[in-house]
Structure 1
């Protein structure tokens, strides 16, 4: 999707995509690539971006896992 402008949530970051549910133009921080929904729509559906990506999430500031 080729869009330009500011995120409709934070009004600071550049738009990366639009929500497939509500159509709002949002930045990377407010967009969940896995579902295609904005963070607001995920909250309304009782989900969060973290819940959708628990399988692939790493702890903050960690590049690799060591066992």
Structure 2
């Protein structure tokens, strides 16, 4: 299955994966490869900051 478009979590990076639970297209930062889930499905209680890793390399859109 080919994934196209931007990540549905950060809306900045190119989506490379599809969440096996909700079907969201997400980038590598927002996908848990071990679980096959997007960060929202992998952490439904929101205990982890989904933007804590890798956001510093993303330019701000203005």
TM-score (norm: length of structure 1): 0.63
Q: Distance in 2 between matches of 1:6 and 1:46?
A: 22
Instruction: Kindly report structure 1 stretches of 4+ aligned residues shifted beyond 2 Å.
Output: 45-48
Unmatched tracts of structure 1, length 5 or more? 49-67
Structure 1 counterpart of 2:33: 33
Instruction: Provide the alpha-carbon RMSD of the alignment.
Output: 1.9
Unmatched tracts of structure 2, length 5 or more? 49-62
- Give the total of aligned pairs: 48
Higher helix share: 1
